[in-house]
Amino acid sequence: MPKLKSKSGAKKRFSFTGTGKVKSNQAGKRHNMRKRAPRMIRDSRGTALLDKADVGHVLKFLPYR
C-alpha cells in the first residue's frame, strides 16, 4: 500500500503537544480588530487547543504526525 501524503497547509497550521493534543493559532484576528473588545484581543493571543470535534479532521490531514 502506498504512503499517504500529508496536507502541506495542515503541516503549517497545526502542531501537537507532548500528549498528542492539537494546537492551533487563535481564530478571528486577521482584520476588523477595532470592533473587537480589548478583552477578546487579549484572550486570543498565542495558541489554543483544538476542540475534540475538530481533531478528527486534522488527524486525517496529517496521517503520520
Q: What pLDDT, in 10s, does the model give residues 39-54?
A: 999 999 999 999 999 9
The count of C-alpha atoms lying within 13 angstroms of the C-alpha of 60, restricted to the half-sphere facing its C-beta, is: 5
In the structure, how many helices (H) and strands (E) does the chain have? Answer: 3, 3
11 pLDDT higher than 90: yes
65 pLDDT higher than 90: no
* Cβ atoms within 10 Å of 7's Cβ, excluding its own: 14
d(CA 63, CA 58): 9
Considering the domain delimited by 8-61, tell me its CATH architecture. Irregular (4.10)
Q: Which residues contact 16 (CB under 8 A, 6 or more apart)?
A: 22, 23, 65
| Domain layout of the chain by residue ranges | 8-61
User: Is there a contact between 12 and 63 (Cβ–Cβ < 8 Å)?
Assistant: no
